[in-house]
Amino acid sequence: MPSLEVYVKVRKWGQNVLLAICDADILGKTFRDGGIVFEVEEEFYKGVKTSIEEAITLMDHATIVNLVGCGIVEKAVEKGYVHSDAVLKICGTMHAQIIKM
């Protein structure tokens, strides 16, 4: 069952807003699949712990969104922020990115 809580970290520079969101239960974990190594680093993702619904509302104000974890990625797909074909799976863990131009 996917996590219902996520960590959200916001970084701003100029007109750009980077939003990093990960499911709370995978923070600090490393996923390996063939030659791919994906680290859910605390330095990048650990910010405020909140609900998935609250995190989704923050996506409207970001220019770049980095999502990792089945809970947050599934919700982003459900809400229309991410197309299901754009989702990567690394050892069963979902990852997606959004860049608004």
- Domain count for the chain, please give it: 1
**Residues 98 and 81 sit within 8 Å (Cβ to Cβ):** yes
Predicted TM-score of the model (pTM): 0.93
Q: Which two tokens stand for residue 10?
A: 């916001």
Q: How far apart are CA 94 and CA 34, in angstroms?
A: 16
Is residue 74 classed as helix, strand or coil in its secondary structure?
A: helix
Q: What digits encode the pLDDT tens for the residues 65-77? A: 999 999 999 999 9
Q: How far apart are CA 91 and CA 60, in angstroms?
A: 29
- Domain, as residue range, for 89: 5-99
To the nearest 10°, the Cα dihedral for 56, 72, 41, 13? -20
Q: What digits encode the pLDDT tens for the residues 30-68? A: 999 988 899 999 999 999 999 999 999 999 999 999 999
Give me the CATH number covering residue 59: 3.30.1860.10
